[in-house]
Amino acid sequence: MSYCLNPSCPKPINNPKAKICQACGSKLLLRDRYHLVKGLGKGGFGATFLAADISLPGNPLCVIKQLRPNTDNPNFLSMARQLFEREAKTLGRIGSHPQIPRLLDYFEDRKQFYLVQEFVKGNNLQQEVKKHGLLNEEKVRQVLKEILVILKDIHNQKVIHRDIKPANIIRREIDDKLVLIDFGVVKNQVNTVASDNNNTALTAFAVGTPGFAPPEQLAMRPVYASDIYALGVTCIYLLTGKAPKNMDCDPLTGEINWDKYLNVSESFSEILHTMLEVSVKNRYKTAEEALQALDIENHLDSLSESMISYSSGNIDPFSNSSSRGNRSTSRIADNIRSRHTSINPAAKRTIAGQDFKKTHSNRTSFSRGTSIGKNSSDFKKSTSFGTSAYDLNRPVKLEAQALLDYYSTGRRDFNQKDLSQQNLEKANLAGAHFHESKFIKTNLQGADLSGVDLSSADIRQALLRNANLCRAYLYSANLEGADLRGADLSFTQFSGAKLKGANLCGANLSNANITEAQLKEAKTNWMTILPNGRRGLW
């Protein structure tokens, strides 16, 4: 069909081959190239349409946003034009991001303003929940991390989205990545205020969506933390299927009483609470702060859970003789968590990352038990097996087949194991924990290592070609000389990792946490997908 752009047209739907609207006589082809296929949505100040660009081969689809100032007041139109151009420039600047629709064109036509953007095929998260049901905590964590990475990038461009909600996050069909849409062009409302000299003063402000927009944004003072709040509400919706208006709120503080509607881990609940603080000073101020908290909590949970099996003091058939060393690690995680929850939200965000790094850097001294007894004899007595401190810190040798057998029975905890020079080609080890383990010259070609904990692991000269390390945790790992050609390293944490001589040619590093200095030490080529989503040398 053909769609008429005239806001007052009584019957905007026309025959697909029509060139003039049969109801109002308006020209249907916009700018002699855009054939409007259907309406996607509309509001008081604008509308969105799906269109085909008939000037290009294949008539590719695009999205056209129309700003409709319903007035002939020249001052009003002048201000609307300025706001429109400013918004278009903003979209043009941030539209190079691989998870934000590109701005293709913008123009004025018959006193109405138009933006043309890339069409993203897929369902938004609101549609996903309605079609497939609620998301579990793990999936919501993934959504949260992916959107926080996008917000970090747009905030660095000094842009506040102002309308984060499930309907504005699309899961792109072609690659399953999340795309953030609708940067408030049709949400920019224009008010008229009478001044002393009877002239008209014009202002614009982004209202956002009630329930998702925090108080400071509704008071026309949005900050970067406003997007963090709206993303927190989005997570609640994904977990409960309930919009904020359908939840109770505290009449004294204005906080949403969402806790009773869902059951999530204590650590994730703490993150959501901080994101949803009504007061900006108690909320995460930036996407980076929220990302750091999410990474820390994720791995504290993993460390604690991976040590539960050692708490009984029983001998594990393939563990280190030092169950004490592992219990020490568990206590470290517990101490960090208790310290994290006992201090105020603003302070904990400041020190959480420092404490986590300090804990990892001091892990060796804890595992050797230097603070357990006054002397070596006291220390030996405190262990079940009477082994030396040196033995306690030595990784236990584990054969490839034994590892795979244990993994197949549901075992995931393989911390401090020596798997050097083993053949684990195409092995499925997703979600396993290999903290401080050795993989020197190990064959992991084509292996599934998604979500694995390889913090402080020694992976020098390992073969990881075409391996899947998506969302892996490589904090302080040694990857010097490793072959990572064609590996999926998207969303991987490389903080503190050594990459000297590592081969990243053709690897996918999109949204990975990796520094420029680390990339300069590694090998890349024009097929490498960099953290910003672009291909090429660093």
* Residue 401 neighbours by CB under 8 Å, 6+ apart: none
In angstroms, what CA-CA distances link 91 with 88, 122, 156, 514? 5, 21, 14, 26
What SS3 state is found at 151? helix
> Would you call 163 a catalytic residue per the annotation?
yes
Helix axis angle for 266-275 and 224-240, nearest 10°, is: 140
Q: Catalytic pick from 163, 295, 413, 483?
A: 163
Contact 84, 105 (CB under 8 A): no
Closest CA relative to residue 156, chosen from 278, 345, 291? 291
Q: Is 381 annotated as a binding residue?
A: no
Which residues are within 8 A (CB) of 242 and not within 5 positions of it... i.e. 6 or more apart? Answer: 236, 261
| CB atoms near residue 200 (< 10 Å) | 14
**How do the residues of the chain divide into helix, strand and coil, expressed in percent and rounded to 5?**
35, 20, 45
b or e along 173-193 (b: 16 or more beta carbons within 10 Å of the residue's beta carbon)?
Answer: eeeebbbbbbbbbbbbbbeee
Looking at this protein, which amino acid is placed at residue 57? P
The number of C-alpha atoms within 13 Å of 313 and in the hemisphere containing its C-beta is: 4
Catalytic residues: 163
Residue ranges at the known binding site for ATP: 65
